[in-house]
Structure 1
Amino acid sequence: MRPLHLSAAALLLAAAPASAGTHGTTHTTPGDIAGGGFETPAVPAPPLFATYLGGQAAGPWAAGGHSVDLTSGRLWDAAEGSQSLDLNGSTSGSVSQTLPTHPLTSYVVSFGLAGNPAWAPALKTGELRVDGVPVRTFSFDVTGHGFRNRGYARQTAVFSSLPKNSATLTFASTSPGPGGPVIDGVRVRSCPLALCPPAS
């Protein structure tokens, strides 16, 4: 567990097997996340993916860095639904979303992690940030995985923003080149401060 200097938060990252679930939802209560399944906007056929440059909106997410690719199931399988997000477009990018939060409440963030197998390096790396602070790295080795054998690994994080009523969640690639870490099925749920168990 590592303290966040800007948000007085703590983050713990763990891996567990991927599992299917519901798509992202709109904000209804603090901690909700919109578009966690990356199903909107839909990538129209025949393209296999849509590229969003830093500064553009990719549905409810704000793209950052250079670019990201919203990828359809015509190219590879998603962890859930039919679309996922490659954090590298032409090179490393990011996506961010600001969540409403309650003070003295912890939040469990979980997401499916894989990688783009079409480009080197085999080890795809990235960072999960809260309020712009790099709090933990994640990685996925695409060796032995392909477009239909994705091997998504479920990642889980817990953060607490003690004095604030919002938090900005960012997934950022630290891999070079046009193929990076791939994320899907992002979910957030709340629990009492310091009592959050890892998400299942």
Structure 2
Amino acid sequence: MARGRCAVRLAVALPVACVLGLPVSAAAHVSVEAPSVVANGGFEGPVSLGSGSVQIKAGSTVGAWHVAMGSIDLVSRAGPWQAFSGRQSVDLSGRSPGSIEQSFPTVPDRCYTVGYALAGNPYGGPKVKTGYARVTQGSLTVQQRFSFDTAGKTSRNMGYVREGFSFCAQGSRATLSFVSATAGAYGPVLDDVTVTPRRLYPLPATGDAGVGGVNEPSGNDG
């Protein structure tokens, strides 16, 4: 079967599969079955102490994440709002719009799903927080713009939503970036970042999986 490449530019609330050489309808036959290949996706390290949040400027790190632009706030359990999971989250606008990035290993011609929890700093405007997530790898750029409306949200009800998109690897390493496009110090809030490879299952000798010669087994995925 001929192998192709796909550079997906999506703005969706749920992960969408991009499968090499298969029609889009074959996405229903793809299963995620592997741990995330990015580190510190929940921003649990280092532990933020003191006032409950720490401003981190460009050139510094948050675990495996590199702060590439502006500044961000690492917000702890003692901070002004609840994390999506664990104890900590990140405001992508510290004193000014910031960005974080991390390089991670990939297998050429394999497809991956990027997932993350998104909310917004409810303590200041604008109400709608904007930014984008981007994967770069050689000539491949896959980007998803996001926005989050903080109207009616509070520190005790942040209203996190899951966002996601997919890409197909061209090489052995890729870089994932999250960038705030929100002016000021009250930006998009990010937590629980994952990048997971997607596994294809071969059809049994008999039977009909429908599309593309790919099938997902029923029952437990042992």
Q: TM-score range by the shorter chain?
A: 0.7 to 0.9
Conserved 8 A contact 2:142-2:167: no
Code of the residue aligned with 1:181 in structure 2: it is: P
Q: Percent identity?
A: 39
Code of the residue aligned with 1:136 in structure 2: it is: Q
**Residue 75 of structure 2 corresponds to residue 71 of structure 1:** yes
Conserved 8 A contact 2:8-2:142: no
Code of the residue aligned with 1:139 in structure 2: it is: S
Q: Which residue of 1 aligns with 2:148?
A: 140
* Structure 2 unmatched runs, 5+: 15-33, 201-211, 215-222
**Structural RMSD (CA):** 2.3
* Residue of structure 2 aligned with 1:100, choices 83, 105, 109: 105
* Residue of structure 1 aligned with 2:171, choices 164, 170, 176: 164
Q: Which residue of 2 aligns with 1:111?
A: 116
**Residue 47 of structure 2 corresponds to residue 42 of structure 1:** yes
Length, aligned pairs only: 176
Residues 1:31 and 1:147: Cα distance change in structure 2 (over 3 Å): closer
Code of the residue aligned with 2:102 in structure 1: it is: Q
Code of the residue aligned with 1:48 in structure 2: it is: G
TM-score scaled by length of structure 2? 0.73
Displacement, 1:64?
Answer: 1.6
* Structure 1 unmatched runs, 5+: 1-6, 17-28, 196-200
* Residue of structure 1 aligned with 2:194, choices 187, 191, 194: 187
Code of the residue aligned with 2:147 in structure 1: it is: S
Displacement, 1:119?
Answer: 1.2
2:194 and 2:113 mapped to 1: Cα distance? 8
**Residue 87 of structure 2 corresponds to residue 82 of structure 1:** yes
* Residue of structure 2 aligned with 1:150, choices 158, 166, 173: 158
Code of the residue aligned with 1:176 in structure 2: it is: A
Conserved 8 A contact 1:49-1:72: yes
Q: Which residue of 1 aligns with 2:61?
A: 57
Conserved 8 A contact 1:54-1:65: yes
Displacement, 1:48?
Answer: 1.7
- Write out per-residue CA displacement over residues 58-83 of structure 1, whole angstroms, 9 at most, x where no aligned residue: 11100021100000122210000110
Conserved 8 A contact 1:56-1:62: yes
TM-score scaled by length of structure 1? 0.81
Code of the residue aligned with 2:60 in structure 1: it is: Q
Please identify runs of 4+ aligned residues in structure 1 that moved more than 6 A: none
